[in-house]
Amino acid sequence: MYGILDSIASGPIEALTSENSTLVGVGMSMEGIEQNPIVYDLMSEMAFQHKKVDVKDKNRDVIVAFPDVSPSFISLPGERYQHYGKPTSRRAVLREKTNAYEQPHLWYSTSDVIKALQLFIASGNELSSISTYSYDLVDLTRQALAKYANELFLKIIDAYTLKDVDGVTFLSQKFLDLVEDMDTLLASHDGFLLGPWLESAKQLAQNEEEEKQYEWNARTQITMWFDNTEEEASLLRDYGNKYWSGLVRDYYGPRAAIYFELLIESLEKGEEFDMLKWRRKWIKLTNDWQGGRKLFPVKGNGNAVSMSRSLYNKYLRSE
């Protein structure tokens, strides 16, 4: 599936795809457990490969890997680009002088993803009882929405550059609504839940103190490792990002909201975007979330077919 392609190069694959493949057994990708089957295929195959495998492509969707960069480092040349097959007048692109934000990119056609999603939804009445179908449907819908969110973010930066406060406000809220909707979709299948990850960590504990520590460890690994300061984020952040219900709504959404709030504040005050304030608020949000004890569901709830159909109509259907 395309969703698998999205995450093929996340995690420790690149380190294990060299000519020296004798270390493959060591790395059977602990950090990719139960979320990306193609990783295991690649790891197993490397024992029989004599050449390097190109795994430079990687996925950095804005929702799960939000930019730690001032909007002043995102330029808006007057070039045209394709929005799901339709030309659009402007595109936000990162200036070459900074590598602080890795621009989301695609190596496949988004229009093909939309067509695939249409076919998946059309088969819903017949296949909805099959768990693997529901998993792929949720994953494919998530993927299409993630790419839509990437472009929506660029529109927000466009409006900011034009000093359009109303535009930034409107588009920011649309982005946050999309995050909420995506979380609801993800909550419909057991395979996209935060709860099992946290509960599996807590179950290893022998006492309450260990349970708190193990849950903190689990929350930290998928957000930001704890070598940050109040004003400097850890370099080990978001590399273990996940599209999991609970994580999307309670962490990724609020993080994006902080950034958008400061964009609006910058325009209203006529001042530069406050990067220091952004980092302080983001890091505090992260550390507070890591120390939280909120319980999250371990079983999916909802109808994946009806939700996918609804979100397709809301965000992706061609006019």
* Residue 14 exposure: Cα atoms within 13 Å on the Cβ side: 9
CA dist., res. 57 & res. 103, Å (int): 12
Split at pLDDT 50, 70, 90, the class of 59 is low
Residue 23 has pLDDT above 50, yes or no: no
Lookup result for tokens 């504990």 = 205
Residue pLDDT, tens place only, 88-128: 444 444 333 344 455 666 778 889 999 999 999 999 999 99
- The answer, yes or no, to whether residue 184 has pLDDT greater than 50, is yes
| pLDDT value of residue 73 | 84
18-27 average pLDDT score: 40
Residue 81 host element (H or E): strand 81-83
Q: What's the confidence (pLDDT) of residue 103?
A: 62
Q: What is the pLDDT of residue 31?
A: 56
Residues 217-224 have a mean pLDDT of: 93
| The pLDDT of residue 92 | 43
**Reported confidence tier of residue 84, pLDDT bands at 50, 70, 90:** very low
Quote the pLDDT of residue 231.
78
What is the crossing angle of helices 195-202 and 208-221, to 10°?
Answer: 140
CB atoms within 10 A of CB 300: 20
Whole-structure pTM over 0.85, yes or no? no
pLDDT of residue 39: 74
When mean pLDDT is compared across 222-226, 246-250, 291-295, the lowest value belongs to 222-226
Q: What does DSSP say about strands 86-88 and 81-83: parallel, antiparallel, or unpaired? A: antiparallel
Helix (H, G, I), strand (E, B) or coil at 111: helix
pLDDT tens-digit readout, 242-255: 999 999 999 999 99
pLDDT at 42 (0 to 100): 80
The mean per-residue pLDDT over the stretch 230-248 comes to 88
Mean pLDDT of 169-181: 98
Q: Using the Cα atoms of residue 110, residue 315, residue 58 and residue 22 in order, give the sign of their dihedral.
A: negative
pLDDT above 60 for 312? yes
pLDDT at 107: 74
For 83, list phi and psi in degrees, rounded to 5: -110, 100
Q: What is the pLDDT of residue 22?
A: 37
From CA 232, how far away is CA 31, in angstroms rounded? Answer: 25
pLDDT digits (tens, 9 = 90+) for 41-58: 887 888 888 888 776 676
Q: What is the mean pLDDT of the chain?
A: 82
